[in-house]
Amino acid sequence: MSILVDKNTRLLVQGITGKSGGFHAKSCMDYGTNVVAGVTPGRGGETFEGKVPVYDTVGEARTHTGCNATMIFVPPAGAADSILEAVDAGIELIVCITEGIPVIDMMRVKAALQKSRSRLIGPNCPGIITPGQCKIGIMPGYIHNPGKVGVVSRSGTLTYEAVWQLSSRGHGQSTCVGIGGDPINGTSHLDVVKMFNDDPGTEAFIMIGEIGGSAEEEAAEWIGKNCKKPVAAFIAGATAPPGRRMGHAGAIVSGGKGTAQGKIEALKNAGIEVASTPADMADALLRRIKRG
């Protein structure tokens, strides 16, 4: 079992004829993802890799291929409009890799998503992978193995680190979701936590957060009240100077909220095993599983 994507996912790539879009579209195809279409305005009628049809609009791609997911590699100035185009076409899952989208643009996107059936992962994220079935994003597929541990994270590199640790210890993954580090994104820790909790194929999971915002505390509170599965967590940015942003646009502490210590306390109060360093993430989960 898995969440959000599997072998039946039919992927569209917006920006497929660009350098980054083309590179990662081919990587997803090589992994086994069913890439059925691409979109680049003005390039309709062409093909990618000699077999994937390219369309001018998402609506055309949806009509002709039945795509139900899209991966967006469009520069920041046009990325929000690309998300909105996918929403208008009724694409169920939208994965936006683009970094640097203006916050005001994402406010428009957030409002549109609330009125739709589409789910956005990202922006500024590595994407999502169900090992052995479907890869949508920029993550290195070879480190992932099919299994029963879920991973949700605001950080791409920490996601890869957790996955490598799990795979090295013989624990595969059900689905790994990089939700992105921007202040306004489409899917929260809590959203993914609820999906992992409901997924019979996910028996435990790791939640990776960082300073800034309250998403981790909200997820921890829900886990403490509702989740019986073993959970481990890590919070990045514990050494960040007050008022400084560390890496992601959303990783900033202000008004005394969003501190690493506050998040760690909330996690521990919910019965979650908290890793002390990035190198301890998989072992923290194994300790939590052993504890029962």
Q: Catalytic residue positions?
A: 248
Yes or no: say if 199 and 173 are a contact pair by the CB < 8 Å rule: no
Yes or no: say if 193 and 151 are a contact pair by the CB < 8 Å rule: no
Helix (H) or strand (E) holding 180: none
List the structure tokens of 72.
Answer: 């967006």
Rounded alpha-carbon distances, angstroms, from residue 86 to 7, 70, 80, 127 = 21, 8, 10, 16
Nearest to 129 by CA among 36, 31, 35, 21: 31
Query: What is the crossing angle of helices 103-114 and 76-88, to 10°?
Result: 10
Q: Please report how many Cα atoms fall inside a 13 Å half-sphere around the Cα of residue 262, on the Cβ side.
A: 16
Nearest to 125 by CA among 154, 92, 101, 148: 154
Residues whose CB falls within 8 Å of the CB of residue 255, separated by 6 or more in sequence, listed in order: none
Query: What is the crossing angle of helices 281-291 and 156-168, to 10°?
Result: 60
- Judged by DSSP in three states, 205 sits in strand
Backbone phi and psi for residue 282, each to the nearest 5 degrees, phi listed first: -65, -40
Interatomic CA distance for residues 74 and 97, integer angstroms: 8
